[in-house]
Structure 1
Amino acid sequence: MKTLKIYANPFIAIKLANNKVVLLLLVSISFLIDAKAQSDILNQYVQEGLKNSQIIKQQQFSLQKAVYALEEAKALFKPNVSFNTTVSAAQGGRKIEIPVGDLVNPVYTTLNALTNSNKFPQISNSSEQLVPKDFYDLRFKTTMPILNAEIRYNQAIKQEQITVQQTEIQVYKRELVRDIKAAYFNYLKATEAVKVYENALKILQESERVNESLIKNGSANPTVLVRTRNEIAKIDAEISNAKGNQLNAAAYFNFLLNKDFNANIQIENLNTSLLDLNLEDGHREELDKIQAGININKQLVGLSQSYKKLKVGASLDVGSQGRFAQIASADKNFFSPNAFVLVGVSFDLPVYSFGRNQLKVKQSEMDLAALDTQAQQVKNQLALQTEMAQNSLSSSKKVFESKASQISTAERYYRDMLRRYKEGNLSFIELLDAQTQITTAQLQQSISLYDVWLKWTDLERAKASYEIK
């Protein structure tokens, strides 16, 4: 009777009733590169990471801050109303002498003589402090810019800063998508390494059983059993190290998802199909960020040139001025006759500043020229990144295909060596070498498998092919 056995490494074999393993088919594992055909589990993890990312939430706050800054810039064109009050009290200081008595008393004396009465009493000269002894100034002040180029440029700069922050969020999202996928593939790689070493342990344990049987029959030296158990101890150590790497890979993956480090990770077998290297080219937000920076510097050039433009503003003051004694007076109203209304229009036009403003303009123009040059450099860097990622993916795919064929050879070589060893025609060292070749081939093939996925992830990032919602 024939039974089917699926191995942990990516090939299919048939185990016959006589326990002879015959390799039937080696499947060349490659991938569905289109994002729609990718692992549903991995896509769910990506969306979960984007949703839970604390850094994205922080950047969302920064974006909202930029929106508020724009609203603040727009509000600068609207009237500003403030309430101002000044209350002062003074003692001493210069005085103004007012000779009221000297001027009026002779007239009053004459009038009393003419009327034969004392209706016009004599008065004394008076003096007033130049600094008022008690004084208040209460007003509502309203100011409003009518013509101001600086405010207009400031508003345009704030608008571009929103664009910069939006592109920052998109760029980070793409980086996070790549990191999550890479962490997932590294976890699968570590998991597969554990499986490979466990398979190697099973082979060594089978060798131990065979050696024990040969020693009982007097066909083998007992020292081979010591060597076998020594190799088993080495593989146990490798398994412990591989499991440690697996735990670290899981912790980092869960960290990116903002989950408990020990949270369970679902594993889905990768789809196999003809590898498609032609990913669609997406839009790189880095270029938008550079363009927004150029736009900001253009506005800064305009802002530095606005010194030549006239500024016009308007103001309105409504309030009351007077002395405290007038407030306490019963026959005086607080606002009348002390109330006042003051309307003003201001004009500001710089005339000469010894070239300082022109030098500021030159500095802004140099910043703009530097950004223009940087934009072309970034375009070249992005193109180089895509080209290198494409080449790396092609190379890693070829390496994987070559490693897959090596497994078949190592399996066949080991079976031949095991048969000869049982017949007594082969030393144990040679059999052990064949066992090591199987483990090495399986491990290298597993590494090359996930290296292809990792290189593909780099290409997807370089081309910005993943659709960010």
Structure 2
Amino acid sequence: MRFVFITVYVLSNLLFFQSARGQTVLDDYIALGLKNNLTIAEKNLSLDKAMLNLDIARSMYLPTVSFDALYSTANGGRMIELPVGDLLNPVYQTLNQLTQSQAFPMINNERINFLPRNYYDAKVRAGIPIINTDIKHNKRINEQAVQMREHEVEIYQRELVRDIKIAYYNYWSAEDGVKVHQNALNLAKEGKRVNEKLLEAGNGLPAYVVRADAEIAQAESKLVEAEQQMANARYYFNMLLNRDAEQPIKQQPTTAQDLGQQYADLLIEGREELEALNNQINVQETMVKMNKQVFVPKLNAFVDVGSQAENMRFNRESQYVMIGAQLSVPIFEGGRNKLKIRESQVAVAEAQQHRLRVQQQLETAARVANNEVTSTIRNYQNAKKQLEAAGTYQRLIQRGFNEGVNTYIETIDARTQYTNAQLAENLALYKWMIAVAKLERETASYILD
């Protein structure tokens, strides 16, 4: 299936990424998070284990050398009768008569035990596989397993990079929100001061002073809430970096003047999820090949160098060298090999279908992330216009109030609109950044070291 190109509307020179200082700050935080994360450390251990299994599979091609020793002694058991006396004594007797001597003494029959006494067999055996297709397939399977573990590490790293970026932007947004609420509180206090002066001059109303106190209390309440949100954002960010929750966060101020965008074509084929599924398909295909070669003979060669004798004797007669080969050819297994082949083929088809389904899900997620970037850009542009309008309106109402044209209630409403517009613009800006971080994750475009 052809990979689908996803045309995305993305930021190319967002000030945060343009600023060398800002980029360094966030990249340093990302590097710290990737280094300190406990889950990544655990997954790296799994990767190390998979690499060790691969080394073991490769070592199966090498010869094996072992030392084997056997000692046994027995009493009783089966006996063999050797009638050497009955066979040779008549001959010896005749020879003695002919020679008029006793040169040929009589001998007894012998009984030899099958089980030896004080017997040992010590040897060094060197063996090597000559024909064994299972070793090749096992090595291939372990190679794919290593690649899958590597992809698992990279997948989690990308998830962590996205979470760190989003947490960083959320903290940044929360801090800017605190500044907006602090400014609103200062304006409310200034409004109270002006109303108190007007009341002292006989041009104000006591109700305006009371209303100013209520506005100050409301602004202080929102400021406390904003500060708590900022603290929570700091805790979460530091948790992702696996460091002290109260540790301060370096920041890089940003403005909207340098924000920009461009069109780019990005592929999802770089997603490690798809690569891992490709490895899984390769594993199942290797299993099919291995099961199809079940009737291929297995041939091993060996060399034994050792010594064996009774009564722990060790001399030239006890020493030996043995060279041999072992051949194994399966003939009939009750049809189990055909069932295994079919089972492996079904597993291949299942893995291929799973990959297609995951690819469709990733393509959909990338399109959704692309649409989110587009919508956040428009929302930010609209919020910027609303902020400009609210700022102009607030200045006009404040001027009218100072000139006695507008009421104090109108100034409160104008300040509230301006504060909300500032918050909306701030939120839209960082939603834009967060949407870019999500799109970066969905297209696997962040470069991992």
TM-score band, normalised by shorter chain: 0.7 to 0.9
Q: Partner amino acid for 1:37? A: Q
Deviation at 1:160, TM superposition (A): 2.2
Instruction: State which drifts further: 136-145 or 168-177.
Output: 168-177
Work out whether 1:281 is the aligned partner of 2:266: yes
Name the SS of the counterpart of 1:293 in structure 2. helix
Deviation at 1:380, TM superposition (A): 2.4
Task: Output the CA distance in 2 between the equivalents of 1:379 and 1:346.
Answer: 48
Query: Comparing both chains, which one has the higher relative contact order based on Cα–Cα distances under 8 Å and sequence gaps of 6 or more?
Result: 2
Work out whether 1:75 is the aligned partner of 2:59: yes
- Quick one: which of 349, 353, 368 aligns to 1:369? 349
Work out whether 1:382 is the aligned partner of 2:362: yes
Task: Output the CA distance in 2 between the equivalents of 1:335 and 1:236.
Answer: 102
User: 5 Å matches for 1:234-383?
Assistant: 234-270=218-254, 272-281=257-266, 283-323=270-310, 325-327=311-313, 334-383=314-363
CA contact under 8 A between 1:181 and 1:457: conserved in structure 2?
A: yes
Match of 1:399 in 2: 379
Task: Output the CA distance in 1 between the equivalents of 2:18 and 2:413.
Answer: 41
C-alpha spacing 1:357/1:304, structure 2 compared with 1 (3 Å): same
Instruction: State which drifts further: 224-233 or 82-91.
Output: 224-233
Task: Output the CA distance in 2 between the equivalents of 1:184 and 1:139.
Answer: 68
User: 5 Å matches for 1:164-203?
Assistant: 164-203=148-187
Name the SS of the counterpart of 2:216 in structure 1. helix
User: 5 Å matches for 1:95-134?
Assistant: 95-103=79-87, 124-134=108-118
Instruction: State the number of aligned residues.
Output: 433
Name the SS of the counterpart of 1:281 in structure 2. strand
CA contact under 8 A between 1:33 and 1:277: conserved in structure 2?
A: no
Name the SS of the counterpart of 2:324 in structure 1. strand
Task: Output the CA distance in 2 between the equivalents of 1:202 and 1:174.
Answer: 42
Task: Output the CA distance in 2 between the equivalents of 1:117 and 1:252.
Answer: 114
C-alpha spacing 1:410/1:119, structure 2 compared with 1 (3 Å): same
Q: Partner amino acid for 2:114? A: L
Q: Deviations over 1:146-193 (max 9, x none)?
A: 111111111122222232233333333332322222121111011111
Name the SS of the counterpart of 2:253 in structure 1. coil
CA contact under 8 A between 2:118 and 2:312: conserved in structure 1?
A: no
Match of 2:8 in 1: none
Deviation at 1:447, TM superposition (A): 0.9
C-alpha spacing 1:190/1:123, structure 2 compared with 1 (3 Å): same
Match of 1:457 in 2: 437
Match of 2:3 in 1: none
Deviation at 1:420, TM superposition (A): 5.6
Name the SS of the counterpart of 1:78 in structure 2. coil
C-alpha spacing 1:313/1:66, structure 2 compared with 1 (3 Å): same
Task: Output the CA distance in 2 between the equivalents of 1:107 and 1:170.
Answer: 92
Q: Partner amino acid for 1:312? A: L
Task: Output the CA distance in 2 between the equivalents of 1:300 and 1:413.
Answer: 73
Q: Partner amino acid for 2:285? A: K
Task: Output the CA distance in 2 between the equivalents of 1:36 and 1:412.
Answer: 31
TM-score normalized by the length of structure 2: 0.85
Match of 2:121 in 1: 137
Name the SS of the counterpart of 2:317 in structure 1. coil
Task: Output the CA distance in 2 between the equivalents of 1:79 and 1:102.
Answer: 54
Match of 1:434 in 2: 414
Instruction: State which drifts further: 105-114 or 189-198.
Output: 105-114
CA contact under 8 A between 2:16 and 2:254: conserved in structure 1?
A: no
Task: Output the CA distance in 2 between the equivalents of 1:406 and 1:400.
Answer: 10
Deviation at 1:356, TM superposition (A): 0.8
Match of 1:37 in 2: 18
Task: Output the CA distance in 2 between the equivalents of 1:34 and 1:278.
Answer: 17
Task: Output the CA distance in 2 between the equivalents of 1:135 and 1:44.
Answer: 72
C-alpha spacing 1:417/1:245, structure 2 compared with 1 (3 Å): same
C-alpha spacing 1:255/1:326, structure 2 compared with 1 (3 Å): closer
Q: Deviations over 1:279-335 (max 9, x none)?
A: 452533333222222222211111111102122221222222222x252xxxxxx14
C-alpha spacing 1:36/1:443, structure 2 compared with 1 (3 Å): closer
CA contact under 8 A between 2:65 and 2:125: conserved in structure 1?
A: yes
Task: Output the CA distance in 2 between the equivalents of 1:35 and 1:405.
Answer: 22
Task: Output the CA distance in 1 between the equivalents of 2:131 and 2:118.
Answer: 40
Unaligned runs of 5+ in 2: 1-10
Instruction: State which drifts further: 221-230 or 337-346.
Output: 221-230
Q: Partner amino acid for 2:279? A: A
User: 5 Å matches for 1:413-428?
Assistant: 413-418=393-398
Instruction: State which drifts further: 179-188 or 129-138.
Output: 129-138
CA contact under 8 A between 2:15 and 2:258: conserved in structure 1?
A: no
Instruction: State which drifts further: 391-400 or 56-65.
Output: 56-65
User: 5 Å matches for 1:45-84?
Assistant: 45-84=29-68
Name the SS of the counterpart of 2:53 in structure 1. helix
CA contact under 8 A between 2:125 and 2:303: conserved in structure 1?
A: yes
Task: Output the CA distance in 1 between the equivalents of 2:12 and 2:342.
Answer: 55
TM-score normalized by the length of structure 1: 0.81
Task: Output the CA distance in 2 between the equivalents of 1:90 and 1:240.
Answer: 93
Deviation at 1:233, TM superposition (A): 3.2
Deviation at 1:379, TM superposition (A): 2.8
